[in-house]
Structure 1
Amino acid sequence: MSLCLAAGLLLTLAHPAWALEYRSTGRAAPLYDAPSTAASKVAIAGSGLPLEVVVDTDVWVKVRDPGGRLAWIEKSALGGAKTVMVKADASVIRQQPRADAEVVFHAERGLLLELAGAADPYGWLPVRHADGLAGWLPAHEVWGR
């Protein structure tokens, strides 16, 4: 291994990986193509939508929506309950964080679920449906955590 390659590898390992940050909308709000209410509106983000934070300023946040679109949203529109969106075609929410646990309910792609806590060490997320049903699903089946 060359010295240059080894040094590059060491520098890569020395810097921590940046964790993605997600925030959910507290209310329906427009998404803009620039950080200004005078900019063009590109979409409306519904209440509870998880958005990936790309840039965070005092008043505006540049976000990526579940479809991959980059846009700006007023920071005041964020701050609702932490939610995730089911990205699998269908997901099974279970009573315990195990693949053989009893089924609580089934969730289809696009369903918003409230996060009810942190993921367990094996990649299961505790979630709650708007109707109150709660359980666990694999973290890789959702977007926004």
Structure 2
Amino acid sequence: MSIRLGVAALSLALLSPAHALDYRSTARPALLYDAPSTAASRVAVASAGLPLEIVVDTEGWAKVRDPGGQLAWIEKAALGGARTVMVKAELSDVRREPRADAEVVFRAVRGVLLRVTGEMRADGWLPVRHADGLTGWLPAFEAWGQ
């Protein structure tokens, strides 16, 4: 009987929807390590505002994936509350309204960081603000970190 319950529970877990990816951005330039300790080897420096995917969340540390796909550890204190995304398309049009035919407010090239100013819409548009203050809507598929 307990084996059947275990199999049933496992089946339900496998059929449940996947959890949404968790992204956080660095609050300031931060060191990335190869293990969750300041005594570990330093592998990179993350610039301020860099969006990182949280892969493992432990007390005081997070294992993260950077936009290039590299895995490393970061002190959670280095992560901020502001959400950012990195443009991954060669050139992205940020539009005045969340429509493909809306006026282009500005264009952002690959690697530009944009602050997320609200929730992504069901139709895939993300409200963003450039460091210069310009705001608009970006197709979410053209950004990494949402």
Please report the TM-score for the alignment, with normalisation by the length of structure 1. Answer: 0.90
1:4 paired residue number: none
> Cα RMSD (Å) of the superposition?
1.4
> Gaps spanning 5+ residues in structure 2: where?
1-7
Is 2:135 aligned against 1:134? yes
Alpha-carbon displacement from aligned partner over 1:56-77 (angstroms, at most 9, x marks no partner): 1111100000000000000000
1:54 and 1:13, CA in 2 relative to 1: closer, same or farther beyond 3 A? Answer: closer
Matched, 1:74 2:75: yes
Q: Is 1:17 paired with 2:18?
A: yes
Percent identity between matched residues is: 70
SS at match of 1:36: coil
Other-structure match for 2:120:
119
**For this pair of structures, how many residues does the alignment match?**
137
Structure 1: unaligned runs, 5 residues or longer: 1-6
C-alpha displacement at 1:14, in angstroms? Answer: 3.4
**Residues 1-145 of structure 1 aligned to structure 2 (within 5 Å):** 11=12, 14-145=15-146
State the SS of the aligned residue for 1:52: strand
The one-letter code sitting in structure 2 at the alignment partner of 1:101 is A
1:3 corresponds to: none
TM-score of the pair, normalised by structure 2: 0.90
